[in-house]
Structure 1
Amino acid sequence: MSIATSPSPPTPPRRIAHLDMDMFFAGVELLHYPQLKGLPVVVGGRSIDTPRQLADGRWQFARLGDYAGRGVVTTSTYEARALGVFSAMGLMKAAAKAPDAIILPANFDAYRHYSRLFKQAVRDIAPHVEDRGIDEIYIDLSEHTEPSQALAQRLKDAVYSATGLTCSICIAPNKLLAKIGSELDKPDGLTLLDESSLQSRIWPLSVSKINGIGPKAVAKLATINIHTIAELAQADVGLLQSTFGRSYAAWLLNVANGQDNRPVTTYSEPKSISRETTFERDLHVRHDRARLGEIFTSLCERVAQDLKAKHYMAGTVGIKLRYQDFTSVTRDLTLPSPISDAVAIRKAAGECLKRAPLTKKIRLLGVKLSQLMPMEDSENPAQKQAPLPFE
């Protein structure tokens, strides 16, 4: 006797969203200083650029044209971008383009706070989230039955309700298209893409819009007269293979044709945690010992906070130095047992510093923790702190 079985329900089509906060750091600053909305604002200044409230209640802001140093732009408002000021640009170069722009120092504690808020707001609706950094995430919406337009708007509304900030979102069949699509209608964008959208919305774009095609590959593609995604999708496979090799050529053709099977990964083990800072002027090991000591201690404390926030311990501590001539060195120390305490981290980092040349002025100092492992119920007791080169 045969037993009748019901057919398995069909697998729902993949619906992957990429959600990207709009000018995130600058947006958080505008929450604190709403009077700056609509003005060109640049984030990346020094502590002396912190706004001051005057006796009459008005705020005094620093101007970008008054900046002197070698810092870089962390982010900028759309009004500043319209003047040619973009992330990673040197602040002195930015000052030449927009001298009347307002400059603010970065407040990473605030940015991390708002990052947690928007991600939790999304997870309350759609828990399958891949964290891609402080201001962007992927979301697997395949199991949801709600129409894409309504679901995307609900996610946007939840983010705004939790943070007061806007975001741009794209729902597409895969991560590749979702990532590209979230940029198409910024700011405050809502974009829906399917396979029929590939030729009309994706192919006309520059190949640089594909995540994974960097400046060197863009320049190399230009030498064989390939500039747009459409030209790449229709390129001769032999030409691509002779230019890039078989493996990368195959990947280029796949992504240009909108193919991407990567899953949304909801959890991944961090490999390392680091903090570093570039000084406003080169610091001398002996003459600036006190200042270097303060910075060194702060880096160790901050990286220890990051470590504990993720509930990890570190088996290796390292340091990074960049000198006034732009040469760099790193030194690492693998410990007999993992640590998470700031004092123990500072001691281990100090041992690394003892093995680094300290004869030239320093422009950058960093502390890195690696060989991470989940924090156990009982941590190792902090070891007695030893004298350090900057003490």
Structure 2
Amino acid sequence: MRRWIAHLDMDAFFASVELLRYPELRGQPVVVGGGSRHPPLVQPDGTRRFARLRDYAGRGVATTATYEARAFGVHSGIGLMKAAALAPDAVLLPTDFDEYKRMSRLFKQAVLEHVAQIDDRGIDEIYFELTDLPGAQDAVGDDPHGGVRAIAARIQQAVQAATGLSCSIGLSPNKLLSKICSDLEKPRGLTVITEADIAARIWPLPAKRINGIGPKANAKLDSLGLRTIGDLAAADPQGLIERFGRSYGSWLTEAAHGRDDRPLSYSRDPKSISRETTFERDLHAKHDREELGALFTRLCERLADDLKRKGVVAKSVGVKLRQDDFRIVTRELTMDRYTADAAVIRRHAGLCLKRMPLERRFRLLGVRAGHLLAADQAAEMPAGQEEGQLALPF
């Protein structure tokens, strides 16, 4: 029986969600990112006027971009000022992570109508196994893998029906190859790769297309003349071990030959949940107290919503700051009882702030809930003293 592992990746997920909201932007270069300070403006005639990259000033980064924007070289993680130089006429939309998470839940629920379990790898991608599904081992006409291809196509259609969004699916004997091939025919791709296809379909690709080869490793491989996956497959395994260490060097050889025996992981119980935001400008606890207070409260409310949605409660709360010199400061405390209440989280997070140096401006603020337990398993704990009357920084 041939093993079939699928990797499903939503196509330009955040941007595609926004195009559902603003269908008049279809076919245009669109970039999502830079916070939430540039919403579309409704004109007197009912039409919407959108911000353009050329008018952006700040240090925000692109969260994602449509394929039309990617054609100009704009990609996720690029600074918006740099993106503006590449595609000044591109539309700039604010991020809406609450909506992206809602759509993420919808597409995963649609997949779970067809498979028993998913290996959840993030907001827009999952793995799942099709090996034992009825028809997965069948040929269809001249296609020896037509059965599993048909199952994957039905899952694509189910995702489209549930969300209005398209996805791409890679099918192969393992996670490593499926991750690569889900990206080969985007958007709406359905790519099947077996061991017999590795030389023709995988080896010509750049080495960095292997998940696990980062920028530093790729630069080192490039300096050795190993630019494609095929180059890596042909390299002396012992030489790779000498240059990259036994573990990583051996893995490079295995990955280049498409070998990967990792099982799918279905245990996704989080140890902690966090919410954070990066500001458009550096803020100060004293001079920007009102703005920070509202942001801080909203982060705690969203964190509480996340806990309730996952059916868990927290015993510890932490706060994270990234200062204007990029140093990260964290503080954490343990509460006297488990909670998913926003007000309780806000109060204890404020106590963490009382223990933090707040003389410098900072660019990032985050709140974390830890020591999680299923809500129905949490033991009743005596309530602690009321700390809400303490004067907090914001």
1:388: Cα distance to partner? 4.8
2:96 alignment partner in structure 1 = 107
2:139 alignment partner in structure 1 = none
TM alignment of 1:1-391, pairs within 5 A: 12-146=1-135, 147-376=147-376, 384=386, 385-391=388-394
Distance in 2, Cα, partners of 1:380 & 1:68 = 50
Secondary structure in 2 aligned to 1:230?
helix
1:200: Cα distance to partner? 0.7
Paired residues of 1:171 and 1:192 also in contact (CA < 8 A): yes
Secondary structure in 2 aligned to 1:86?
coil
Amino acid at match of 2:348: A
Q: Deviations over 1:25-49 (max 9, x none)?
A: 0001001111000001011144331
1:381: Cα distance to partner? 7.6
Paired residues of 1:292 and 1:390 also in contact (CA < 8 A): no
Distance in 2, Cα, partners of 1:213 & 1:362 = 32
1:7 alignment partner in structure 2 = none
Distance in 1, Cα, partners of 2:121 & 2:127 = 7
Q: Deviations over 1:219-262 (max 9, x none)?
A: 12223221111121121122111111111111111111111111
Secondary structure in 1 aligned to 2:251?
helix
Runs of 4+ in structure 1 off by over 6 angstroms are: none
Structure 2 unaligned runs (5+)?
136-146
Amino acid at match of 2:310: K
Distance in 2, Cα, partners of 1:245 & 1:62 = 49
Distance in 2, Cα, partners of 1:220 & 1:338 = 48
Distance in 2, Cα, partners of 1:290 & 1:52 = 26
Secondary structure in 2 aligned to 1:227?
coil
1:133: Cα distance to partner? 0.8
RMSD of equivalent CA atoms: 1.6
1:13: Cα distance to partner? 2.0
| Structure 1 residues 55 and 380: CA distance shift in structure 2, 3 A | farther
Paired residues of 2:53 and 2:90 also in contact (CA < 8 A): yes
Amino acid at match of 1:156: Q
Paired residues of 1:351 and 1:388 also in contact (CA < 8 A): no
Percent identity between matched residues is 56
Q: Deviations over 1:286-327 (max 9, x none)?
A: 111111111111111111111111111222211111112222
Amino acid at match of 1:86: H
Paired residues of 1:18 and 1:182 also in contact (CA < 8 A): yes
Distance in 1, Cα, partners of 2:123 & 2:75 = 18
Distance in 2, Cα, partners of 1:45 & 1:330 = 24
Distance in 2, Cα, partners of 1:249 & 1:273 = 34
Paired residues of 1:50 and 1:62 also in contact (CA < 8 A): yes
Q: Deviations over 1:145-186 (max 9, x none)?
A: 320221111111111111111110011101111100000001
Aligned length: 380
Structure 1 unaligned runs (5+)?
1-11
Normalised by the size of structure 2, how large is the TM-score?
0.93
